[in-house]
Amino acid sequence: MPADRRALITGSTRHIGLAIARRLAQDGYVPILNHAHDDEQAVHALEAVRVVHPAAELIRADVTREADVARMVETASANGPIDLLVNNFGPFLWKPLLETSLAEWNRILAGGVTSAFLCCRAVLPSMRSARAGSIVNVASMHAERHRAAPHTLPYAISKAGVARLTRTLAKTEGPYGIRVNAVSPGFVDSQENLPPDAASRTALGRLARPEEIAAAVSFLASEKAAYITGAVLDVHGGALL
């Protein structure tokens, strides 16, 4: 892999996103971290990633806002084209539907699927011109299983949208040499509001580590997955068996 390959990772200053940034740095990418609010946490994350790759960058942008995404991609591309986009940002909400406000509903859908749409749309023109590139979206383990979601409905809908976006773009962008895939994590030990029996619901009897989700992203972005596109890879430890 050329040393100057660049990877833009949204929501990448904590938990799964930070693990992905560190793993891609290990893989030789110049990781470009994205955050929207906590500047102090973002600086700590950047320092941690720069231990692995000193050229790592940090961009503050709200990826639910079209203008912010355009600015982020323009800034991220200033030192070279974006070879890999990882749409990791996606807020979570645990609340019954009748207690969910419209503002909360809109926030989860915007964060989960609209942000992925905006970021994909922004990076695809340059990837098409290069006739190369990879996008990896982060969905969830129920993204392609249309089960009831009494406490997580907007989140479930947003991640189902991410899965459909993934497969659609894999179809439309394949002729340009662009691969589009997704990972669908299960219960991760960095998540909040997990069911108390989450670990026992898995076949492996434990929660996932963020680094294990990052490893799946790394694989889908690598040359080892050069003939894989349109995949939605379950990484849930057998939670849905």
- The CB-side HSE value for 154 (13 A sphere, CA atoms) comes to 24
Among residues 29, 155, 176, 227, the one annotated as catalytic is: 155
Maximum separation of any 2 CA atoms in the chain, in Å: 51
Contact 85, 123 (CB under 8 A): yes
| CA dist 64 → 16, 155, 164, 175, 234 (Å) | 19, 15, 18, 28, 26
Q: To which residue do tokens 């030990």 refer?
A: 189
- The CB-side HSE value for 100 (13 A sphere, CA atoms) comes to 19
Task: Examine the residue annotation and report whether 155 is marked as an active-site residue of this protein.
Answer: yes
The DSSP annotation for 156-167 comes to HHHHHHHHHHHH
Contact 107, 39 (CB under 8 A): no
Closest CA to 94 of 195, 230, 8: 195
Closest CA to 116 of 82, 90, 155: 90
Token code pair at residue 2: 């050329």
Could you give the residue numbers annotated as active site? 155
